[in-house]
Structure 1
Amino acid sequence: MKSSRGYVAWLAVSGIVCVAITIFAASAYVTLDMGEARPPLRGAVHYGLLVAHIFTGSVAVLAGVSQFWPGLRGRHPQMHRVMGRVYFAAVLPSSLLGLVCAQLAVVGLPSSGPLTVLSVLWFVTAVQGLRTARRRQFGAHRIWMIRGFALTAAAVTGRLWALLLGSLMPEADGLLVFATANWLSFVVNLLVAEWWVQSRGYTRTLPSVALRPSISSRSAQSSASVA
């Protein structure tokens, strides 16, 4: 399907924003200086897990952006597959690391709650995306990739929500702003992703019957072969 110029422009702007914010967020951890870490830490092990989570998550964002570029699947299918493998190789460990880091959060449930839910959903959507790709269920694969990247992009939208809420409520408690931004970062993304899936009619293109032949169809095939 040919993409409109507006759609391509929207993807380009969104991609640039994702890449820019991801690089900025990861830059604080390039020097491996614990003093530069943004969340409070429990120690060196916590910091190491956080760094691993951030860098694998950054790879996931960068690889995921490429998967939505128009024409990549059609003109460069091999590159699409390679970047897809990179994406899954980054998301799966990053989501598990995020789950561990969420349990180590110093401030407790306001921080660990949304990050735990996000990490679990992120892992599940990645597994589903990988499973449907391997089964060559490309319609379902597209839907799971849209949902999965909506969760991947929470690393970007969470910072945007924090800036917006902080500017609108400068006197609000910082922990409240942080927790609210974390929830909004992926809940809103998922709602937008689901709206996108439904509005584009992706669910209508899925097969209405199972891929495996039914008992009656197998019997018919057997009868035909005997005949």
Structure 2
Amino acid sequence: MLSIKKNISNTLKILLIIGFAYFFWLMLKITFEYIPLDTNVSFLMIKQTEVAERPEYLYFFYTHVYTSIFVLLAGFLAILRKDFGIKNFHKNIGKIYIFLILFLAAPSGIYMGVFANGNIFSKISFVILGCLWWLSTFKAYQFARQKKFNEHKQWMWRSFALTVSAITLRMWKVFIVYLFHPNPMDVYQIIAWLGWIPNLLLIEFLITRKHI
């Protein structure tokens, strides 16, 4: 029985790694679109007003794009910490994850949220997302400093649930467009909330049931 459970666990872990690798590659391709710097590609093509009228917008945008991909990778590697067998690996990769979010990715994301596409509800969603992302990561950092590692783990899971909203947001977009073909701005207003709320609800459920 223990052997069967171990095999199932290993299989699920392999599937998780494959799934993450696939979506990480997709996110990496999106990041590569902005190398070299070009304001007439992809997302920036619909943000020309901000690009023209707010010189600081591009600084926040590139900061968010270039750091978020490393945050995503660092968070996932921290989850797989036991598989590397490297001393202090989890601690060091966690420091990178926390630093990037607190000082670069989350603040720039909050700024971008203020100018998000869609109506005021989209803007509110992305600003809340950025604030919760920062707060949950900071709480995780605080508990780690206090050596309250169970609480640290729970808050890091909440933080990572918000980190992967970059992936789930795009998954919801494909799903909704494929099934319903709505107006693009309507899609944006919907996925602004769907991208992160289900993630948090799932993590809270797993924490409550003591699965993580």
TM-score tier (shorter): 0.7 to 0.9
From the CA coordinates, give the structure whose radius of gyration is larger: 1
Return the match for 2:25 from 3, 8, 20. Answer: 20
Partner of 1:33, secondary structure, is coil
Q: Percent identity?
A: 22
Q: Which residue is 2:142 aligned to?
A: 131
1:56 alignment counterpart = 67
Runs of 4+ in 1 over 6 A off after TM superposition: none
Q: Which of 180, 194, 215 is the aligned partner of 2:204?
A: 194
Q: Deviations over 1:26-75 (max 9, x none)?
A: 122122100014153211431221111111111110100101115148x3
Check whether the contact 1:132–1:140 (CA below 8 A) recurs between aligned residues. Answer: yes
Task: Please state if 1:38 is matched with 2:43.
Answer: yes
Separation (CA, whole Å) in 1 of partners of 2:199 and 2:117: 26
1:176 corresponds in structure 2 to 186
Deviation of 1:96 after TM superposition, in Å, equals: 0.8
| Cα deviation digits, residues 186-214 of structure 1 (max 9, x gap) | 00111111122223355xxxxxxxxxxxx
* Distance (whole Å) between structure 1 residues aligned to residue 117 and residue 20 of structure 2: 32
The residue type paired with residue 25 of structure 2 is A
SS in 1 for 2:68: helix
Alignment-mate amino acid for residue 64 of structure 1? G
- In structure 2, the gaps of 5 or more residues are none
Q: Does 1:71 align with 2:76?
A: no
1:80 aligns with 2:85: no
Pairwise CA distance, 1:87: 0.3
**Counterparts of 2:155 and 2:57 in 1: how far apart (Å)?**
31
Secondary structure, aligned partner of 2:175: helix
Letter in 1 for 2:14: A
Pairwise CA distance, 1:7: 3.4
Match of 1:109 in 2: 120
The alignment partner of 2:188 has SS state of helix
Amino acid at match of 1:51: Y
* 1:5 shift after superposition: 1.3
Q: Is the 8 A contact 2:81 2:89 kept in 1?
A: no
- Residue 148 (str. 1) matches residue 153 (str. 2): no
Q: TM-score, normalised by structure 1?
A: 0.80
Structure 1 vs Structure 2 CA RMSD: 2.0
Q: How many pairs were matched up?
A: 199
Q: For 1:76, what is the secondary structure of its paired residue? A: coil
Change (3 A) 1:22 1:181: same
1:185 is matched with 195
Normalising by structure 2, what TM-score?
Answer: 0.86
Give structure 1 stretches of 5+ with no counterpart: 203-227
